[in-house]
Chains A and B, each alone.
Chain A
C-alpha cells in the first residue's frame, strides 16, 4: 500500500522542549514538504526538500528544522524557539515527473502543555 505516513497523530510539547514529527513515504517521490495549518489560515509552507541531503526554507521556517538523509524520510523538529507551535502539521510528497501533483499525509496535531 503506497502512501505517506505521519506519526504520531497527536503530540504534546512542554515548555522549552524540542519535538520531532515523523514523515515517511513509500511512493518513491523525490520532493517532500512540511506545511503548518492554523484555523482559517490555509496551508503555510515550512520547509521543503527536492532531493536527498538538500532542503530549502519555506515561508515560515523560523523555529523549525528538518533533515533529509533518506529519500523516504523527512522529519520535522519543532524547536523551543517556536513560541507558538500549537497547530496541525501536514507532510506532503510530490510525484516525480508528470505534472508534479502533491499528496498529503494524515497530519500530526501538536499542542503545548
Chain B
C-alpha cells in the first residue's frame, strides 16, 4: 500500500533546540494526523488537522496542514529529553477511509 514520505529516518538534536519535520504525499488528504510513539508503547495522537492551511498548536508542538493538501509539517520548540520517540504522520481521505502512514522519524535529544 501507499506510504507517506518522512525523512530523514533519524534526527539528533540538543536539548533546548527547535526541530521541524515534514511529511509529503503524492495524493491529497483531507485529514492529517501526527502521532508520537514512546519505546515499547502504542502511538499517541499529538495533533489532528482538518483544513488546508490550518495551523494548530499543542503546547510546544505546532503543526500545519499544507495548502496543496499533499503535505504537513510538525515543529517542536525548546526540545526536552521526554520528546524522544518516533513521530509518525498519517493522512486520511475521509472519515470512513483507512489511514496512510509515514515510516516515522526517530528523534533523539541530547541533554
Contacts and interface: CB of A to CB of B under 8 A. Distances in A.
Interface of A, helix, strand, loop or mixed by DSSP: strand
A106 B41 contact: yes
A50 B3 CA distance: 22
Interface stretch (B58-66, B71-79, B99-107): B99-107
A103 to B, nearest CB: 7
Nearest to B2: A59
A107 B45 contact: no
B57 interface: no
Contacts of B82: none
Contact of B3 (A6, A42, A90): A42
Nearest to B33: A101
Interface size class of A (residues with CB under 8 A): 20 to 34
B48 to A, nearest CB: 6
B111 interface: no
Interface of B, helix, strand, loop or mixed by DSSP: loop
Contacts of A90: 42-43
Given A90-B42, A104-B43, A41 B98 contact: no
26 contacts: A33-B98, A40-B103, A41-B103, A42-B88, A42-B101, A42-B103, A42-B104, A44-B1, A58-B1, A59-B1, A90-B43, A99-B50, A99-B92, A99-B95, A100-B31, A100-B95, A100-B96, A101-B45, A101-B48, A103-B45, A104-B43, A104-B44, A105-B42, A106-B41, A106-B42, A107-B41
Interface of B: 1, 3, 9, 31, 33, 35, 40-45, 48, 50, 88, 90, 92, 94-99, 101-104
